[in-house]
Each structure stands twice: as C-alpha cells, then as structure tokens.
A = this chain, B = another copy of it.
Amino acid sequence: MSQQLAVGIDIGGTNTKFGIVDRRGNILCDGRMLTNQHEDVHGFLDELHEHLSVLIAQVGGIENIRGIGVGAPNGNFYTGNIEYAPNLRWKGIIPLAKLLGEKFGVPAILTNDANAAALGEFQYGAARSMRDFIVITLGTGVGSGIVANGQLIYGHDGFAGELGHCIVIPGGRYHPGTGAHGSLEAYASATGVTNTALEFLANRPDTQSILRDHSKEEINSKVIYEAAMKGDPLAVEVYEFTGKILGEALANFVMFSSPEAIILFGGLTKAGDMIMKPVREHMEKNLLPIFQNKVKLVFSELKESDAAILGASALAWEMKD
C-alpha cells in the first residue's frame, strides 16, 4: 500500500509543527522547530527538510508519501504562495508549495490555518459525515473555514472565509490590526475577551470582582477563565457578553450557507457551557424559523495539540491523483 501517508506542516508565528499522518488521522510521528530562526526561507526549508527526512525514513521512505499539506498564515490555495504574512520574517510573496515540492519531490499544497482546520474536521473530526459545515477558530484571532456541497469554499481569489472580520456591531469596538469598528474578532478573540473584561472593570467601579486583585496588565483570557470557573459574576458576564455577540454572528453565517453544523475550535472553547449556552441561545433567537433547532453547534473533536498537523495533512488527500 504505497502513498497512503501524508505529511502535514503547520507554520505558526512561533513554531512550525510537522508530522506524518495516515488516512484515519493517526499521527505516526511528528516534531517541531522554531519558525523565525532563518532570515531566508531557503534556510527554513533546509532545516525542515533535515527534520522531516528522518521521519520519512521511519515510515519507509518518500514513496509512501502521497503529498505534503501546509497550513500557513495568509496561505493561498490557488497560488501555493504565502502572501504578505504579517507574523513571518519572510516578506512579500513566498512560493512555498512550489519550493517544498521541489525539495521533497512530492506534490505540496497549501492553505491558511483556519481552512486547514476545516479540512481536518472533514477528514478526521466532527464533520466526517457532513457536506455542509463551518469551522470557527477562536484563538488569538477569529478564523473560519467553510465547507459547502462537500467542498472547501476558497472564493475567486483564495481568500474566502474571513468571518472574523465581519462587522457585527456597526461602529463598535476598534480593531487595531485592521482599523475596522465592530468586527467579530474585536470581541470573540482572546484579546477581545480581555478587552471586554477591562471595559467592564472600568465602567462598573462599584462591582466587586476577583479580577480586581490583578493589575490591568495581568488580565488575560486565562485569568478571566479562572475567575469565571470560581464563579466570579463579572468574569461570567464576560463570557455571556462574548457568547451573545458570537451567537448573533453565527445566526448570520447560517443564513448564508445553511450548514449542518458549526464547529467551534480553540482557546475560548475551554470555557465549555459558560460560552456555549449564550452562543446557542442568541444564535437560535436570531435565526429564521426554518433554520431554528436544526444546526448542530459542537466543539471540535480533535486534540488541539494534534489539530494543526492533522488539518494540514488533510489537504494532501484533497489532491487529485
């Protein structure tokens, strides 16, 4: 059984993770390296090749590898390029899929990290039996990958699915990264949750909260989560507020593609029912009756530590023979 394995590579701002995956989503071996040690992308590729060659030898050589899938910030599926990624050292347009293909002698294919997450759910996760679903990644930023008619939606230029940048509160909170006012990411990201808590603390000086034991600088999504788990009412309300905005946004997304499920992934999902309850309530409230009580709202089934490699590897199964 040759070519029944795929390489998955997830390029993040700090770490690059890589692994070799079978069709069922078992990671046979994996590793990681720092992303930004090399000023030139060729230096990065040389180091990556060194690490991966050892793993590829372990699974019986390159003839067992069907292809290489890469999830990368600003990765464009159509061109195979990383285009102007703000968090990477290599500036401008990097033809990464082409360079990887030449280096390893197998086809390589690339997309952004949220699309890779959606393909991971499609191939190995909560969306295995679905043709229509949306994955929302709730981390430092808010990303999304949309599958309709059994295909990932790339849009005419490869940049579809930027749902984190939809305006949900016209004239609302400023997003310093984009200059937009009231985008979903300004509220439902880790930074958004932190800013909501800081606003609540500043606007309600008379409300007690264990968050007041921390300096402003110390308050982050982890501290807020721990306070909410201890029952701190203000911290709990931060999740209710965040969940309301996210739920209203999800209702709009349902009106677009009528998915069977919306799969939530990333840091914010650790809050469990504290976030899921208001999300579900406000999503349902904003849906037309024909959509109500039909859309499954679930957390990802993939282990967060494995998901990036799995998602990237799933791209390789998408390649035509």
Q: Which residues of A contact B (CB under 8 A)?
A: 130-132, 146, 148-149, 151, 153-163, 165-170, 178, 180, 248, 251-253, 255-260, 286, 288, 290-291, 294
Contacts and interface: CB of A to CB of B under 8 A. Distances in A.
A256 B294 CA distance: 21
B155 A257 contact: yes
Contact of A131 (B156, B255, B257): B156
Q: 6 tightest CB-CB pairs across the interface, nearest first?
A: A155-B258, A160-B258, A156-B260, A132-B156, A166-B252, A162-B255
Nearest to A149: B151
A156 B132 CA distance: 6
Nearest to A153: B148
B148 A258 contact: no
A130 B155 CA distance: 11
A170 B248 contact: yes
A167 B132 contact: no
A276 to B, nearest CB: 20
Contacts of A252: 166-167, 252
Contacts of A167: 248, 251-252, 286
Interface centre among A256, A260, A290 (most CB of B within 10 A): A256
Given A160-B258, A161-B256, 19 more contacts: A131-B156, A132-B155, A132-B156, A146-B257, A148-B151, A149-B149, A153-B257, A156-B259, A159-B258, A162-B258, A162-B290, A162-B291, A163-B256, A166-B256, A167-B286, A168-B170, A178-B288, A180-B288, A256-B257
A256 B155 CA distance: 8
Contacts of A259: 155-156
Contacts of A286: 167, 180
Contacts of A288: 162, 165, 178, 180
Nearest to A245: B170
Contact of A149 (B132, B153, B291): B153
18 contacts: A148-B148, A148-B153, A148-B155, A151-B151, A156-B258, A159-B258, A161-B255, A161-B256, A161-B258, A162-B291, A163-B256, A165-B255, A165-B288, A166-B255, A167-B286, A169-B170, A253-B256, A256-B256
Nearest to A151: B149
B159 A130 contact: no
A227 to B, nearest CB: 27
Contacts of A148: 148-149, 151, 153, 155, 160
A257 B291 contact: no
Contacts of A258: 154-162
A165 B248 CA distance: 12
A149 B286 CA distance: 28
A132, A165, A180 interface centre (most CB from chain B within 10 Å): A165
A315 to B, nearest CB: 16
A8 B159 CA distance: 35
A162 to B, nearest CB: 5
